[in-house]
Structure 1
Amino acid sequence: MESIDIGKKIEKYRKEKEYSMRELSRITGITPSMLSQIERGLANPSIQTLKTLSKALNVPIFYFFLEENRTENLIVRHNERRNISVGDITYELLSPDLSGELETIIMTVPSNTLSSDSPIGHKGEEIAYVMEGKIVLYLEETKYILEVGDTVKIPPFMNHKWENNTDQAVKIIFSVTPAVF
């Protein structure tokens, strides 16, 4: 874990609000000299100071402690996707990693394959889109046939399973929140 520069975060939120150092000082009662030292990393703010700045900048205090996302870590090249196999079914992770609330995956279901013996549910809400092929989806006790271009929303904990009873593989792209893999 990289160290978090709270001063840079404070400076960022101050500039987003278009506050000068003097203006933020007037609002918070913190001297411009102390604000400058905090922003430059020369002084560590107390919890009370962070609460005061949080209120003045209208951001939750925990925002000062969030790690920055590096933009290069947000890209997933087509030939660098992580693959996960569960039985005969493969999953290609389109998301950069397994962190965060949203996860997007391509599921490949080989011909004559079931995702599970019986329908199962999970914590995440899911939206699925059939990219290639034709597949049977069981939602609770009801059977649906989905074809290319069809979508389905599967609420959290709804029992479901996929069945490919054709002679060709089926590809389905789906997003799940929160991430479950």
Structure 2
Amino acid sequence: MDIESIGNKLKQHRINKDMSIRDLSAASNIAASTISQIETGKNSPNLITLKAICDALEVPVFSLFLEEDKPKIRLVKRAVHEPFIRNISNGRQIKESLIIQGKNEMYAALVETPPHADSGSYSHHGGEEFVFILEGRLTFDLEGDRKYELEKNDTLYYPNSIGHRWENNSDEIVRMLMVSTSPYEF
């Protein structure tokens, strides 16, 4: 964290409070010229000065030192989806294609379940999840709750701590979008 960045953050807080440098000077008992120099990165304030300014702005001192996360924007073209076999059920392969890559706060996949196949035993993990049925009909089983019959364009949301599994009891392939907030890295 550099001095200029701290100055920029202080200036932004001051502007957000609709305060002039003179207003902040009066509220903090710090000279207006000193505040101006801090905001432009020409003065390296000591902790007592920072505390006085932050108190006047009603912001914690530590907030000036937090690094802001840069937005994680990722484009994953269809050509680079990473298909893999999720599991084999009744001799049929359940295919999954990851549609988000890298370390993320969520995981997204297109899942294809062939006729008369299922996802296997109940899955339990952290986070939350939703499924959106793109094609076909699917029975989604939430352990201890009930079974849900889902059709094209239906959505089901649930906490991942509830055991969950699905089965395709039809003669058609089922395609669904599955999005989970469980952090994965692919």
Does TM-score exceed 0.5, indicating one fold? yes
Task: State TM-score, norm by structure 1.
Answer: 0.72
2:136 match: 133
Residues 81 and 92, structure 1, Cα contact 8 Å, conserved in 2: no
2:126 match: 123
Q: Distance in 2 between matches of 1:154 and 1:35?
A: 51
Q: Distance in 1 between matches of 2:48 and 2:55?
A: 11
- Give the CA deviation at 1:23: 0.7
- Give the CA deviation at 1:160: 1.0
Q: Distance in 2 between matches of 1:89 and 1:14?
A: 50
Q: Distance in 2 between matches of 1:76 and 1:47?
A: 39
Residues 82 and 93, structure 1, Cα contact 8 Å, conserved in 2: no
1:146 to 132, 142, 150: 150
Alignment of 1:64-79 (within 5 A): 64-68=64-68, 73=71, 75-77=73-75, 79=77
Task: State TM-score, norm by structure 2.
Answer: 0.70
Aligned residues: 171
Q: Distance in 2 between matches of 1:82 and 1:32?
A: 56
Comparing 128-137 with 23-32, greater Cα deviation is found at 128-137
Residues 34 and 43, structure 2, Cα contact 8 Å, conserved in 1: yes
Deviation sequence 1:96-117 (CA, Å, 0-9, x none): 9615xxx3624323425544x3
Classify 1:91/1:41 alpha carbon distance in 2 versus 1 (closer, same or farther; 3 Å).
Answer: same
Residues 106 and 172, structure 1, Cα contact 8 Å, conserved in 2: yes
1:31 match: 31
Comparing 29-38 with 165-174, greater Cα deviation is found at 165-174
* Structure whose alpha-carbon radius of gyration is higher: 2
- What is the root-mean-square deviation of aligned Cα atoms in Å? 3.3
Q: Distance in 2 between matches of 1:80 and 1:9?
A: 40
Q: Percent identical across equivalent pairs?
A: 31
Classify 1:36/1:148 alpha carbon distance in 2 versus 1 (closer, same or farther; 3 Å).
Answer: same
Q: Distance in 2 between matches of 1:50 and 1:81?
A: 52
Instruction: Give the match's secondary structure for 1:172.
Output: strand
Classify 1:15/1:111 alpha carbon distance in 2 versus 1 (closer, same or farther; 3 Å).
Answer: same
Instruction: Give the match's secondary structure for 1:109.
Output: strand
- Structure 1 runs of 4+ aligned residues shifted over 6 Å read none
Q: Distance in 1 between matches of 2:147 and 2:54?
A: 52
2:18 match: 18
- Give the CA deviation at 1:85: 5.4
Instruction: Give the match's secondary structure for 2:45.
Output: coil
Deviation sequence 1:20-69 (CA, Å, 0-9, x none): 11111111122212212221222333444444333332334443233345
Gaps of at least 5 residues in structure 2 are: 87-94
2:167 match: 163
Instruction: Give the match's secondary structure for 2:114.
Output: coil
